[in-house]
Structures are given as structure tokens and as C-alpha cells.
Amino acid sequence: MTQKREKFRELAEGRTTKALDAIARIGNLSNRQVYEYEDVEVKKIMRALRDAVAEVEARFEAPRTRKSGFKL
């Protein structure tokens, strides 16, 4: 494996694990015996998570284009 590929895998695994752990901790907030919240607040959290995932997907799908400078 190339050095860039190894670095990608190392960082991707670590960052994905941390993200999944953070999402699980957000899920822990659903315990109504411990926390009080409104449905609108939950919807905002879910929207923020979906938007963040969509942004990441778009970054992986979009071809990298470089600005080619000014043209008329």
C-alpha cells in the first residue's frame, strides 16, 4: 500500500470511530428520565447530523477542480 493510502485508512478509521461514538452519545440524550427536551430540538439535531453527512458525501463525490485562472 502506498503511504498516502495508509495514512488515509489510519485517519479515516480513527475519525469515523470518534464520529460514531459522538453520535451514540447524542443518542444517550434520548433518556427522558434524565433529560427534558422538545421534539423541535430533536428535529434540529437530526437535521444538523443529516446535513453534515450530506456535506461529507458531496465532498467525496464532487470531482476536484482547480481554478484555471481568469478567462474571457
- 29 in Cβ contact with 46 (< 8 Å): no
pTM, full prediction: 0.79
**What is the band of 65 on the pLDDT scale with cuts at 50, 70, 90?**
low
pLDDT for 2-60, tens place per residue?
A: 999 999 999 999 999 999 999 999 999 999 999 999 999 999 999 999 999 999 999 99
What cell does 5 get? 493510502
Distance, CA of 72 to chain centre:
38
